[in-house]
């Protein structure tokens, strides 16, 4: 007998959200900035320095006293040259200019840079004709004008991308405190399963759910720490569960939860207090959950499309939020043709969304793994719909 008769999609989603809540609150870890792309900051990172680190030139040209070039054109002697390198240029002598390169230290006394384009040779050796005036501060990048020491460079909860790592590196920071990724175990079950790459005999199928779930977990910002494939053997499944719960924050399984005779997942988890039943959706009708040794176990039906959609509907949003990733893109689209649906179940049809209209690209069968691969979207048909017509507006999830 099922533990729950018929849950709505929302009821089962809420149940899983509650089951996973503690597991998704991971602790923090400190990692090299170079490895931190895609991770989420655990606390605000203050800048240990002013940026820019020192006052420097924005242009190749001449560092000047603005007041001395106010009446340009004016010819002034060139007192030296400052390139972008470690250098203390000393002070700019009154009545002189220095040649300066972009990023070079602007010397004390200079308060503007005249770009080289606004100058020409002064006639005498080591002189320059400054062709136009520049105001105080022009083309000078002041120390601390980007960020000041102690100010927040990156707040907590930020999904680190290359621009954030650049800011950390620019401030000389080498490590950053981030949330640990959620660790997930993937256990596929079925006596018929063989690894892709082997030679199946009649009755055997390639284990595509292991591949799909592992990739989907990574895409949702979590780490796959265990991958097991077990036959319909209770002892082997118990061993795989023990390995999984020892290493992971969350265990995902596929197969073995419906009404047949060899339902190893259902038969193992029900006596442990697992909940097995049916959710008003298609694919993905049979669903189950359990907590084993305090670790949540979420069990998906074995049909490949059912497994993948169940993950997308129930687990991906939670993992994505925990990983700081944006929620999936949901749009409203007009339906291209007519379609019929099974009343009482929310249908997740495999579809193509061209940005204006959406149309199914394969049948509704939950074994149509190639049909799912051909889709770029899921077209959601509400529970109460019996038939929909061309032009009706439907919800579409980008895959």
Rounded CA gap, 114 and 172, in Å?
A: 30
Closest distance to ligand LQZAQKY5 from the beta carbon of 47 (Å): 49
Rounded CA gap, 190 and 302, in Å?
A: 8
Q: Which among 195-203, 217-225, 255-263, 315-323 is the span making contact with ligand LQZAQKY5, rule CB under 6 A?
A: 255-263
Binding partner of residue 89 among ligand MOO, ligand LQZAQKY5, none, CB under 5 to 8 Å per kind? none
289 phi and psi angles, rounded to 5 deg: -145, 160
Closest distance to ligand LQZAQKY5 from the beta carbon of 192 (Å): 5
Closest distance to ligand LQZAQKY5 from the beta carbon of 274 (Å): 13
From candidates 31, 78, 129, 205, binder to ligand LQZAQKY5 by CB under 6 A: 205
Q: Does 107 bind ligand MOO (CB under 6 A)?
A: no
Please report the DSSP string for 44-95 in residue order. Answer: -EE-SS-BSSS-EESSSEEEE-GGGGTT-SEEEEEEEEE-SSS----BPPTT
Q: Is 359 exposed, middle or buried (0-12, 13-18, 19+ CB in 10 A)?
A: middle
Rounded CA gap, 277 and 284, in Å?
A: 11
Rounded CA gap, 204 and 186, in Å?
A: 20
Torsion of CA 202, 206, 207, 212, to 10 degrees: -150
Instruction: Map residue 260 onto helix, strand or coil.
Output: coil
When the beta carbons of 31 and 191 are compared against ligand LQZAQKY5, the nearer one is 191
From candidates 26, 56, 268, 306, binder to ligand MOO by CB under 6 A: 306
From candidates 26, 57, 303, 341, binder to ligand MOO by CB under 6 A: 303
Site string for ligand LQZAQKY5, 261-300 (x = CB under 6 A): --x-------------------x-xx--------------
Secondary structure element (H or E) that encloses residue 238, with its range: helix 234-247
Alpha-helical (H) ranges within 248-386 are 264-269, 304-310, 316-322, 369-373
From candidates 26, 189, 209, 366, binder to ligand MOO by CB under 6 A: 366
Q: Does 283 bind ligand MOO (CB under 6 A)?
A: yes
Q: Does 209 bind ligand MOO (CB under 6 A)?
A: no
Contacts with ligand MOO: how many residues (CB under 6 A)?
8
Closest distance to ligand LQZAQKY5 from the beta carbon of 343 (Å): 16
Residues 230 and 191: beta-carbon distance below 8 Å: no
Q: Does 347 bind ligand LQZAQKY5 (CB under 6 A)?
A: no
Closest distance to ligand LQZAQKY5 from the beta carbon of 323 (Å): 25
Q: Which among 35-43, 131-139, 302-310, 353-361 is the span making contact with ligand LQZAQKY5, rule CB under 6 A?
A: 302-310
- The token pair at 379 is 């077209």
Residues 141 and 34: beta-carbon distance below 8 Å: no
Rounded CA gap, 115 and 140, in Å?
A: 11
189 phi and psi angles, rounded to 5 deg: -125, 150
Q: Which among 43-51, 117-125, 303-311, 312-320 is the span making contact with ligand LQZAQKY5, rule CB under 6 A?
A: 303-311
Instruction: Map residue 387 onto helix, strand or coil.
Output: strand
Closest distance to ligand MOO from the beta carbon of 160 (Å): 37
Q: Does 228 bind ligand LQZAQKY5 (CB under 6 A)?
A: no
Residues 6+ apart with CB under 8 A from 183: 222, 223, 225, 247, 248, 249, 250
Closest distance to ligand MOO from the beta carbon of 373 (Å): 17
- The token pair at 40 is 């989420």
Q: Does 284 bind ligand MOO (CB under 6 A)?
A: yes
Which residues of the shown chain bind ligand LQZAQKY5 in the complex (CB under 6 A)? 188, 190, 192-193, 205, 207-210, 254-260, 263, 283, 285-286, 301-304, 306, 366
Which residues lie near ligand MOO (CB under 6 A)?
282-285, 301, 303, 306, 366
């Amino acid at each position: 007998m099922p533990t729950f008769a018929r849950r709505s999609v929302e009821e089962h989603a809420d149940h899983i959200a509650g089951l996973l809540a503690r597991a998704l609150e991971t602790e923090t870890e400190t990692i090299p900035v170079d490895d931190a792309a895609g991770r989420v900051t655990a606390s605000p990172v203050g800048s240990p320095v002013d940026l820019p680190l020192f006052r420097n030139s924005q242009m190749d040209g001449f560092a000047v006293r603005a007041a001395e070039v106010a009446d340009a054109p004016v010819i002034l002697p060139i007192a030296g040259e400052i390139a972008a390198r470690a250098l203390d240029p000393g002070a700019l002598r009154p009545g002189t200019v220095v040649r300066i390169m972009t990023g070079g230290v602007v010397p004390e006394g200079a308060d503007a840079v005249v770009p080289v384009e606004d100058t020409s040779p002064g006639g005498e050796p080591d002189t320059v004709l400054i062709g136009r005036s520049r105001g105080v501060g022009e083309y000078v990048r002041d120390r601390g004008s980007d960020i000041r020491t102690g100010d927040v460079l990156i707040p907590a909860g930020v999904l680190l991308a290359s621009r954030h790592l650049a800011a950390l590196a620019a401030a000389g920071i080498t490590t950053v405190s981030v949330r640990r990724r959620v660790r997930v175990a993937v256990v596929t079950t079925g006596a018929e399963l063989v690894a892709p790459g082997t030679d199946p005999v009649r009755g055997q199928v390639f284990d595509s759910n292991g591949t799909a779930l592992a990739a989907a977990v990574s895409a949702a910002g979590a780490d796959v720490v265990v991958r097991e494939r077990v036959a319909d053997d209770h002892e082997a499944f118990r061993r795989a569960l023990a390995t999984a719960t020892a290493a992971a924050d969350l265990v995902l399984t596929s197969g073995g939860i419906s009404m047949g005779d060899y339902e190893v997942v259902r038969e193992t988890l029900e006596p442990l207090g697992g909940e097995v039943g049916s959710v008003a959706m298609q694919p993905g009708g049979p669903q189950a959950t359990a907590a084993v040794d305090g670790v949540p176990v979420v069990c998906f039906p074995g049909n490949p499309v059912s497994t993948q959609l169940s993950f997308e509907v129930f687990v991906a949003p939670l993992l994505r939020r925990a990983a700081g990733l944006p929620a999936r893109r949901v749009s409203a689209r007009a339906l291209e043709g007519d379609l019929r649906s099974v009343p009482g179940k929310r249908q997740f049809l495999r579809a193509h969304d061209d940005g204006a209209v959406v149309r199914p690209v394969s049948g509704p069968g939950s074994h149509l793994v190639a049909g799912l691969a051909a889709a770029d979207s899921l077209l959601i048909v509400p529970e109460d719909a019996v038939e929909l017509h061309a032009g009706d507006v439907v919800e579409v999830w980008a895959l």
